[in-house]
Amino acid sequence: NTQIFDTPEEGARYVAAKIAAFINKRNSEGLPTVLGLATGNTPIPLYMELVRLHKEEGLSFKKVISFNLDEYYPISPDDVNSYHYFMFKHLFSHIDIDRANVHIPVGTLAEHMINEYCEGYERMIREAGGIDIQILGIGRAGHIGFNEPGSQLNDITRLVTLNPLTISDAAGDFGGAEFVPRKALTMGVRTIMEARKVFLLGWGEKKTEILAKAIEGQVGIEVPASFLQKHKDTEFILDKGAASKLA
């Protein structure tokens, strides 16, 4: 299920409208909405539109519970390159979400705490009722979250080592590849596959090759995003540039 838009902004408006309709319905029933959220350049237009819907059209996030996909490790939440910093800058500081309902993997844990922490993250998602809507971008190595090539369908939240291509793509933000953390905490492929609805967003020619593999290629661990072909309700949201290598 692939939707192609002229611009990222149009694709973002389409996804934001779907999210807003879902939240509004749940709000009217007095029920929470559980969102799985991504960082990076890709979701920025989506978050801008969600902020606009909150400010101009009364969309309330009071009953939204959010779980972010991933965080670098190690990194401080105050670091401008942390995903914690990103989420408050682009979304959480501008909407009425309850801080207690925001979950972002913590990049400052002592190493011996990580396994227990990751199990706890999975448990919190389950106790919230599971993820209703998961937002994803895709890395040029084929990752979703930080599930790099080699990640398995059964993987859950855990500490992973970043792929060299992922590190080089992040080098600009960190002022050099040597400053990019080597590891990250990430939800697993299985955690993502358990979401009831997934939107994978991709913009621009830089992503077209990996998107063609993810959407039309063989399903397997070489391109973890390809597992989404087996997900029952995933929409791939692309702009024209990102779609240019699709059949």
Q: Tokens 């009217």, residue?
A: 28
Q: Which is nearer to ligand F6R, 120 or 172 (CB)?
A: 172
Q: Shortest distance, CB of residue 125 to ligand F6R, whole angstroms? A: 15
Verify binding: residue 188, ligand F6R, rule CB under 6 A.
no
* Stretch (H or E) spanning 125: helix 114-127
Residue 144 engages ligand F6R in binding (rule: CB under 6 A)? yes
Catalytic pick among 49, 71, 122, 148 = 148
Give the 3-state secondary structure of 193-247. HCCCEEEEEECCHHHHHHHHHHHHCCCECCEHHHHHHHCCCEEEEEECCCCCCCC
Site for ligand F6R in 7-66 (CB under 6 A): 38-42
Q: Please tell me whether residue 205 binds ligand F6R under the rule CB under 6 A.
A: no
Instruction: Please say which residue, 52 or 90, places its beta carbon nearer to ligand F6R.
Output: 90
Cβ 127 to ligand F6R, closest distance in Å? 22
Contact 132, 29 (CB under 8 A): no
Of 133, 162, 151, whose CA–CA distance to 189 is shortest?
151
Q: Which residue is nearest to ligand F6R (CB)?
A: 137
Nearest CB to ligand F6R, comparing residues 27 and 229: 229
Judged by CB under 6 A, the number of residues near ligand F6R is: 14
List the beta bridge partners of residue 34: 65
> Could you say which of 145, 181, 188, 224 contacts ligand F6R (CB under 6 A)?
145
Interface residue with ligand F6R among 49, 70, 148, 155 (CB under 6 A) is 70
Residue among 145, 170, 179, 174 at smallest CA distance from 160: 145
Nearest-approach distance from CB 173 to ligand F6R, in angstroms: 9
Instruction: Report how far residue 198's alpha carbon sits from residue 178's, in angstroms, rounded to the nearest whole number.
Output: 33
| Residue 157 touches ligand F6R, criterion: CB under 6 A | no
CB 15 within 8 A of CB 237: yes
160 binds ligand F6R (CB under 6 A): no
Cis peptide before 8 (omega within 30 of 0): no
- The CB-of-126 to ligand F6R minimum distance in angstroms stands at 20
49 is a catalytic site residue:
no
Distance (Å, whole) CA 12 – CA 239: 10
Q: Where are the alpha helices (DSSP H) in 29-69?
A: 44-57
CA distance 22 to 14: 13
Question: What is the SS3 assignment for 5?
Answer: strand
Min CB(152)–ligand F6R separation in Å:
17
- Residue 107 in contact with ligand F6R, rule: CB under 6 A: no
Catalytic annotation, residues: 148
Binding site for ligand F6R (CB under 6 A): 38-42, 69-70, 83, 137-139, 143-145
